[in-house]
Structure 1
Amino acid sequence: MKSRFFDKPLQFKIIIICAITNVIIFVVNIFLILGINSMSNDMEAAYLDNRQLNELTTALSDVQDSMTEYLSSKTSESLENYYKSAQRYQDLTDTLNDKITDQSYDRMERNIKFMSKTYLDEVAQTVEAKRGRNVEKYRTYYENATELCDDIEEYITNLNLELFVVNSEKYTALSKAFKKFEAAGVLVMTLIMVGNVIMVASLVNAMTMPLKNLASSADEVSKGNFDTEIPDTPYDDEVGVVTRAFNKMVVSIKQYIEQLKESMEKERLLQEKELMMTAHLKEAQLKYLQAQINPHFLFNTLNAGAQLAMMEGADKTYEYVQTVADFFRYNVKNNKNDVTVREEVDLVDNYIQILNVRFSGDIGYEKQIDKRLLDIKMPSMILQPIVENAVNHGIREMGDKGKISLKVFRDGEDVCISVADNGKGIAKEEIDRILDGSYEPREQQYDNNGIGLGNVIARLRLYAGRDDVVEIHSQGENMGCEFIVRIPRQKKEANDVQSDDRG
């Protein structure tokens, strides 16, 4: 039976042990509580007779007082009070014992009951004589009633004292019995708790001994000693399964370590080859960058052309060349830095101006800017690629009917920048692919700066630290498209603090 119990799962054994100990404690507590309640009720009832006699005395005084008040005032309210107090006193006297016994307090209680009946009759006759204006009768009745009231009060007082002595003896005996019961209860609970502790400790020790052996062997294995073994447990619970699996695991670990050493050696050789390939690639990229045109040479050349146009009086040419120079300078200077919303909006203005020179002013352009938000920080090269995408894939083929709308506004704790067009629109499937990064653009049909929407969305999410920074809305084909960028306003405060630290 014992072996069969220890073969059960650990959870089952723990639940059974806890259930048995709790049931034992619960049953003992029930018996103790029932005994305490019984003795408490007996102690509470010890002075019940005295409380009833006190109530009877109070009711008797109320009858006498209400009768006296009516005789002196003769009001309907005082008469009503008399009837109520008389009825209450009558109800209390009806509960008194009228049996004939040898006990003195039983005889006194019987006398009080009959005297009370006579008293109520005298009081009633007093009130009736007063109502009938019979002065002589109501005085006689009143004196008789008063004398009876004094006698009843004296009887009640004597009975109360006699019952108090008897009840005090009962209460003392009950109190002593209660203390003995309380001591016995504490002793029983102590024995039960000690017995439970011994039983639980024995069972838990039997269950945890295999675990201790397993822990000791596992500690040896953690120190690198894979030759350790532990005695097999005779039980088929979880600990027995784990113990038997431990020896198999140790053997497997030995084999795995040997295989791992061989694998690590192969991986080291592969990493060396990969590092060599990476070094060659970086060297090639460096040579490619060194071979590119110096951007300062390009800016100086454009500025020289702008000055030449100004000297020749070609104001529009001067303005165009200056705009192109500003556009390229921004692209090179701010490619990796944070900028303000104002700088990004200025770049879009320059880009639209360049396109309108190229395409004879075909693109309509309007702005709604909340100027209070222009100094908020944001990543560079965000808005121009979005506008470029709207022009190339939305309104390029619409001629002078194409329009671009740029809005900067606040939405809660975000600064929102909206770029909208009235062009071809985007299908819902393509919007989903753009947002999840799976969109692959077609072969380039138009010239652009090489920064795609995927790059823009990825940098915005890294900058804001969340995914909901871009929204794309399109009602369908030829219904236009709106691209909304969300920039957290607190980024401005963080950047300001960093600037102060650098200063």
Structure 2
Amino acid sequence: MIKIRTKLLIYFVAVLLLVVLLFFVREESARQVMELHDESSSQYFLLNEITKVTDQTFQSLQIYVHEPSDDNLVFYSEDKQKLIDLQAEYEKMEVIGVEEKNFLSMLSSFLELTDKTAAWVGEEEIEQYSYYLNEADNTANYIHEMTLELINQELTDYQNVLALEDQKMESTKNMGTAIFLAIIIGSVTFAIWFSNGLTRTIDRLTGAAKEISAGNYTGDDVVVSGKDELKILTETFNQMKRNILQSVNEMEEKARLSHLLKEMELKSLQNQINPHFLFNTLNTISKMSYIEGAEKTTDLISSVSALLRYNIGVLDRETVLKDEVEIVREYFFIQKTRFGDRVAFHQNIDEACLDTPIPCLTLQPIMENAFMHGIEEIAQGAEITLHIYQQHDMINIDIWDNGVGMDKETINHLLGAKTKVEESAQENKRVGHSTGIGMRNVMDRLELFDQNSQFQVQSELGKGTKVSIQLPKK
């Protein structure tokens, strides 16, 4: 992830490097021009100085010839030494052509002639030193003329170099202009790109926030292509929207379940027609049947009394799995009396699981559904099995039958939420069953009891139905 601050730092560093590059190119070009100018100027000055010192040396020599004194000889020697030094300095120049070598040779000849002139003056040989003095004068004139030629040639060459330097300066100027324009264009492009990236994401977040404020929590998530702080902000915003939607759904679901429970309690209260009177009446009938020797009738009435007493209690009360199993046994005994040998009830129950808390009237409605939708129309060999066991940290409850089974559409209709009119119509059709509680109601109360609980229905036409419940062990 590249942070916004990192992007800005990279941009500023890039601009700074371009500016430094522009400054370096201009300074380097100016330095080269100055070096060339200084080199040419120093060469001109050196040639001019050589010509001047040559004249001074010849004049000192003439003075010594006319007045051969020690002082004049010293003056001549000093001027000659200056010329020798200038000659050595000129030899150190980097570019020495044919003309320059001839010029140096002429300087050496001039110095030899002046030395011979001074020597013959000491010998007082007038004819000899006059000859060498005259030759030295001619050589000095040649040196002067050659100096002018060299300066003229250097100026001509310098004009060509200046043209090249002007061209180079123009190229450097164009390069600097290009770099400057690149900085401007790059800055504008970066500013537009950077601002668009910020404003586009902010606009999307603003639009999504307006949708949420209007109560629309199901809109699409805000998507950004960048990988900076705005991406983290957008992902957090999307997660917040999903959390709000989940919270709203949970509140609506709890409100629906609470309303459903209140309706069931009201219906249960409406069905309670003086339960104490009904229990006492059933007990009286049971005792009379026992006195008359009708033991099966006594057992049947006892089962009906226990079943009725369990069903008319408060629906959202908590009980344990043991009580649910007992009431299922009572219910099956009643149905066994009705169906006889047409149906068999098998139990495979782990006694260690019977202390598990469970909502009231959870297993009996499933057993009723197995009778009503599964085996009620089977003439012979119907079976219902109740299997309770522990697996890891979960208590598993399986109820399956070998009835007619159901297709996917029927299962979805059985488990799907229905309107109040549909629920009332279905409950009115449950003739011969005690609870009138649908599978959807069982699922809702299990979810309200423990959100970690699971409820599954597996069925195929002609292969029976299996209902599985999983509860965390407590």
| TM-score normalised per structure 2 | 0.43
| TM-score normalised per structure 1 | 0.41
